[in-house]
A = this chain, B = another copy of it.
Amino acid sequence: MSNDVNERLIKLEMDVLAANDKVAAENRKEFVEDKILALNLVSSPGSGKTTLLCKTIEEIKNRIPLAVIEGDQQTINDAERIRATGAPAIQINTGENCHLEAQMIKDACAKLHPEDNSILFIENVGNLVCPASFDLGEECKVVVLSVTEGEDKPLKYPYMFSASKVMILTKIDLLPYLNFDVEKCKEYAKRVNPEIEIFEVSSTTGEGMESWINWLDNKRKNLVG
């Protein structure tokens, strides 16, 4: 690429991120004021984010107010799956774009009106790269990795794993049929992010869901008091 285009690219990327960060800070301020626990779920396509969300919602919907923002390039399938659980959900279609941005969350919240003291789950576009750079104003990013993807992913996509406070290993019911070394995967994740908290779950069998739900409860308790 020519130097001119390259220089403009770097300058503009900084401007785009700065503009995004400004709106993200406004979102965060609102979430904190309204005691809304906003979580940004990120992963590859097909890691089981929506299934995990549906299962999580079933477990907590009777005692915690919830709302969901779904991001996908196309289709409204995921929002429909979420709505079937009874939780309010809004779908954002990003078209050719590869990630959600803070302004999209601001616009979606203006329609969705998440309740005070609620949990707001934001399911990002399936992409283990680009959403790492975009703050949405969330409390933290939660990276979801399915055991069918291979244990090397934290090393190959380190930006996402270091940008996340939590990693959820999904589809652990499939472990007997795979060559996936859980301990090695956890070690790799800790290598790029020593502070990362790790949960191992199966949305199919329910195994491991309790620890993840406990984490949500504790996080919310710290926020709501």
Question: Which residues of A are at the interface with B, using a C-beta cutoff of 8 A?
Answer: 1-2, 5, 8-9, 12, 15-16, 19-20, 44-47, 72-75, 77, 96, 98, 101, 103, 125-130, 133, 146, 148-150, 152-153, 155-159, 171, 174, 177-178
Measured between C-beta atoms, what is the minimum distance from A196 to chain B in Å?
A: 16
- Whether A129 contacts B125 in the complex (CB less than 8 A), given A101-B1, A157-B45, A174-B148, comes out as yes
Whether A158 lies near B127 (C-beta < 8 A) is: no
Whether A128 lies near B45 (C-beta < 8 A) is: yes
Whether B128 lies near A127 (C-beta < 8 A) is: yes
Contact of A74 among B75, B127, B155 (CB under 8 A): B155
Whether A46 lies near B177 (C-beta < 8 A) is: no
Whether A133 lies near B75 (C-beta < 8 A) is: no
What are 14 A-B pairs with beta-carbon distances under 8 A?
Answer: A5-B19, A44-B46, A44-B149, A45-B128, A45-B153, A73-B156, A73-B157, A74-B158, A75-B155, A77-B156, A96-B133, A127-B130, A174-B178, A177-B177
| Complex Cα spacing A129 to B44, Å | 10
Q: Which residues of B contact A47 (CB under 8 A)?
A: 149
- Whether A171 contacts B148 in the complex (CB less than 8 A), given A1-B101, A20-B1, A127-B129, comes out as yes
Whether B44 lies near A152 (C-beta < 8 A) is: no
Whether B1 lies near A156 (C-beta < 8 A) is: no
Q: Which residues of B contact A98 (CB under 8 A)?
A: 98, 127, 129-130
Whether B148 lies near A46 (C-beta < 8 A) is: yes
